[in-house]
């Protein structure tokens, strides 16, 4: 499971823990909140000390049981929808990441474009 550099900044600013991201993926494995097609899902993430209803909206490039890339995050008090052009761009980025070879993913981690989501990390990375 990975965060894009942009999503990692959002998560750090919002104090959104890696544990919360893992919980969101575990919930998505049972039933994603919304399927956007093309490997993208919308998934709510609980805010620390609160529930999903007051939490965050995320868009994730996801292949069930295999890999997840957190692409976009927004507080639920922010805008309610992602603009069409931005959603199209997220589909392109998501498809690219989901089809990337392991070597390319490793290179993106090395260059800081992707950050691994760590299950055992209690603090923000």
For residue range 99-121, list pLDDT tens digits in order: 999 999 999 999 999 999 987 64
pLDDT in tens, 24-57: 999 999 999 999 999 999 999 988 777 666 789 9
Strands (E), the chain: 2-4, 34-37, 40-45, 56-63, 67-75, 114-116
Q: Where are the domains of the chain?
A: 2-116
Asked if 21 contacts 3 with a C-beta cutoff of 8 angstroms, the reply is yes
The pTM of the full predicted model, rounded to 2 decimals, is: 0.87
pLDDT in tens, 33-42: 999 999 999 9
């Amino acid at each position: 499971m990975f965060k894009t550099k942009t999503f990692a900044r959002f998560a750090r600013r919002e104090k959104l823990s890696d544990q919360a991201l893992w919980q969101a993926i575990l919930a998505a494995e049972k039933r994603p909140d919304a399927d956007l097609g093309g490997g993208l899902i919308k998934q709510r993430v609980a805010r620390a000390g609160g529930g999903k209803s007051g939490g965050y909206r995320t868009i994730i490039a996801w292949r069930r049981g295999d890999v997840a890339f957190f692409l976009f995050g927004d507080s639920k008090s922010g805008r309610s929808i992602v603009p069409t052009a931005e959603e199209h761009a997220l589909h392109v980025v998501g498809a690219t990441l989901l089809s990337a070879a392991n070597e390319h993913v490793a290179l993106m981690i090395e260059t800081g474009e992707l950050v691994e989501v760590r299950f055992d990390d209690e603090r923000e990375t």
